[in-house]
Structure 1
């Protein structure tokens, strides 16, 4: 921030954060506060690639104890599995989806918040860290086949960071945020692997895991994201996936003060905001991705949830989602 000519202290205070909190890699902070801080910082500095610049300067040690598990995993597959298993120790709002097929692997990123939030800087930061993590396991000369961004390309003057950080040509206005890699990279041996160090790190993390076990709510949010495009994001399917009855799942959610329909709507609102902000994704495709059988049903839900039809709200997204502009959930 200082090198961009902006004092970060006022922005931290505005977000309710302190420099001392950020200095502790094991200290978890509010995901919403972090996301809004990134957007406000991008607006204050006028740097639309701020998240990528942060990723470029960030070391894997900032992941805390889990960095040892990742760095010394015997393969990238196991490193990503560890990152997914212990995501509550890194970022509980960020979900990774790994899809294999036709000789390639797509690693997608999805954020889940209780209210729709602008995601550009946070998503860019997470993508940059993900690629650096992969390179740490596979070697400095490794590069993904492609890196995909759902947002538009930045100004030409800010494009130089992409080849430095990703070593491949970026694809903008994509239908998802994530990377595409060679399927063989998943199981290629990590020359730096140390099973003793990885095992030691796991024991350290599991020793305190009781404090941050994944909640039922978080597990259901993950399932909803995965099941929505199939049209099977129902409480019955989620209960079956967890191996419990519908009544048991309802009791667990009730104990956490949330209902299934509330979670379903929350995830849909975040994803709808994300998809519709990309002008290359048709409204009909968004309806399919959110599990609606017809454009009419999707439009009625969207109008009720956001107070406007998808097409009308999409026209306002460039202003609503400029860096630093906050979004409030409809009441």
Structure 2
């Protein structure tokens, strides 16, 4: 699922957008993301649409440093359970090594590297498809997050080293200095934060070896289960799309910025199919609405995207062994 990032990568987007007077839900909708994306931060979003959102927001805000400011605002919290692993590593070097190992659980569209860079160590950010529009905003956001992460790990007295960016400045250099306190090195051969080698040996004061081992085991489990999250993400999309009419595989694939064939293949690898996810989603929605609302059967049929009432009635009978006209809350526990 290389095009995906956790929706947590948009943590704080709503508040920053509103500071610029921008309606965050309208921005999400314009780039093809569900308006309730920020209500499900553990879900997945298309990285291409994530970049499009940053680019659109920067343009409408009139601030080319929108992405950088969002990354600095987010800091380490966007990494979810990976945060606890890093905080309980024994040294900065161990924390960065584990960030490299588990970063794909946060974002499948990019990875981080920890390697030598001259006499320094680089914490580099690599996007798998660097030709995407908005990539510069994404890079600045990532390094903003990385800078706050290093300050969290090494303490507030840590003095930042240069920030390297492969692109040209998106704003006057003074604007970067005002935000960062330093001016990044632009047009570099890497996108990275630099550290002194000895900084990797710095111990982390909050390290708890037992808790560290427990969290690592949890992340290893998540790593094995990550492919199983795709059906849940598709189902969430269907819930948003069904009230607008019939949901088709091409429509969902477009929302996820992947081809129809790739979506079907990925669902097959997860042990299901598009039709099964659609059927299960409709069944769960039908049960919830019948229990918790006063909708008429005809209204429910429309809400679930059926072409006509008879098609809904046949599906309902298959699910629950009776037509919707005979259903009562006591029929199903």
> Under a length normalisation based on structure 2, what TM-score does the superposition of the two structures give?
0.58
Counterpart for residue 155 of structure 2: 139
| Gaps in structure 2 of 5+ consecutive residues | 1-16, 228-264, 267-333
Task: Give 3-state SS (helix, strand or coil) of 2:156's partner.
Answer: coil
Rounded Cα–Cα distance in structure 2 between residues aligned with 1:115 and 1:176: 15
Counterpart for residue 218 of structure 2: 204
Q: Taking structure 1 as reference, are residues 163 and 145 closer, same or farther at Cα in structure 2, changes over 3 Å only? A: farther
Question: Contact conserved, 2:54 with 2:67, CA < 8 A, in 1?
Answer: yes
Task: Give 3-state SS (helix, strand or coil) of 1:105's partner.
Answer: strand
- The residue correspondences of 1:179-190 to structure 2 (distance < 5 A) are 179-190=193-204
Rounded Cα–Cα distance in structure 2 between residues aligned with 1:110 and 1:82: 16
Task: Give 3-state SS (helix, strand or coil) of 1:130's partner.
Answer: helix
Task: Give CA-to-partner distance per residue, 1:132-159, whole Å, 9 cap, x none.
Answer: 1111111112133211122223434x84
Rounded Cα–Cα distance in structure 2 between residues aligned with 1:191 and 1:160: 34
Rounded Cα–Cα distance in structure 1 between residues aligned with 2:197 and 2:54: 33
Question: Contact conserved, 2:75 with 2:146, CA < 8 A, in 1?
Answer: no
Larger relative contact order (CA 8 Å, sep ≥ 6): 1
Of the three residues 172, 186, 201, the one matched with 2:186 is 172
Task: Give CA-to-partner distance per residue, 1:28-59, whole Å, 9 cap, x none.
Answer: 21111111111111111111000111012114
| Gaps in structure 1 of 5+ consecutive residues | 214-254, 257-331
Counterpart for residue 89 of structure 1: 105
Task: Give 3-state SS (helix, strand or coil) of 1:48's partner.
Answer: coil
Counterpart for residue 293 of structure 1: none
Is 1:73 matched with 2:126? no
- RMSD value over aligned CA atoms? 2.7
Counterpart for residue 58 of structure 1: 74
Question: Contact conserved, 1:76 with 1:187, CA < 8 A, in 2?
Answer: yes
Task: Give 3-state SS (helix, strand or coil) of 1:58's partner.
Answer: helix
* Equivalenced residues, count: 215
Question: Contact conserved, 2:26 with 2:35, CA < 8 A, in 1?
Answer: no
Question: Contact conserved, 1:88 with 1:212, CA < 8 A, in 2?
Answer: no
Counterpart for residue 35 of structure 1: 51
Rounded Cα–Cα distance in structure 2 between residues aligned with 1:170 and 1:16: 32
Structure whose alpha-carbon radius of gyration is higher: 2
Task: Give 3-state SS (helix, strand or coil) of 2:89's partner.
Answer: coil
Deviates more, 1:1-10 or 1:143-152: 143-152
Q: CA deviation at 1:200?
A: 2.4
Is 1:193 matched with 2:207? yes
Rounded Cα–Cα distance in structure 1 between residues aligned with 2:131 and 2:194: 29
Task: Give 3-state SS (helix, strand or coil) of 2:198's partner.
Answer: helix
Task: Give CA-to-partner distance per residue, 1:279-304, whole Å, 9 cap, x none.
Answer: xxxxxxxxxxxxxxxxxxxxxxxxxx
Counterpart for residue 152 of structure 1: 168
Task: Give 3-state SS (helix, strand or coil) of 1:190's partner.
Answer: coil
